[in-house]
Amino acid sequence: MKRLHDMINQEGIVLSDQVLKVDAFLNHQVDPTLMWEIAYEFMDRFQDAGITRILTIEAGGIAPAMMTALRLGVPMVYARKTKSVTLNEGTISAEVFSFTKQQTSTITVAEKYLQPGERVLIIDDFLANGEAAFGLARLVEQAGAEVAGFGIVIEKSFQPGRQKLIEAGFRVESLARVESLKDGKATFVDSVTV
- Determine if 131 is a binding residue for ligand 5GP (CB under 6 A): yes
Binding-site member from 27, 52, 105, 106 for ligand 5GP (CB under 6 A): 27
Q: What is the CA radius of gyration of the chain?
A: 16
- 39 or 57: whose CB is closer to ligand 5GP? 57
Buried b (16+ CB within 10 A) or exposed e, 8-30: beebbebeeeeebebebbbbeeb
Figure out which of the listed residues 19, 24, 49, 110 binds ligand 5GP, where binding follows CB under 6 A.
Answer: 19
Residue 27 is assigned to a ligand binding site: yes
Q: What does the chain come to in residues?
A: 194
Based on the shown chain and the rule CB under 6 A, indicate whether residue 60 belongs to the binding site for ligand 5GP. Answer: yes
Q: Kindly state whether residue 130 participates in binding ligand 5GP, applying the rule CB under 6 A.
A: yes
User: Does 155 engage in binding with ligand 5GP (CB under 6 A)?
Assistant: no
Task: Tell me how far, at minimum, the Cβ of 26 lies from ligand 5GP, in Å.
Answer: 8
83 is in an annotated binding site: no
- Number of shown-chain residues binding ligand 5GP (CB under 6 A): 20
Closest Cα to residue 92, out of 61, 116, 122, 126?
A: 116
* Residues 77-116 within binding reach of ligand 5GP (CB under 6 A): 99-100
Residues making contact with ligand 5GP (CB under 6 A) = 19-22, 27, 57, 60, 99-100, 124-133, 161
Residue set of the binding site for 5-phospho-alpha-D-ribose 1-diphosphate: 128-132
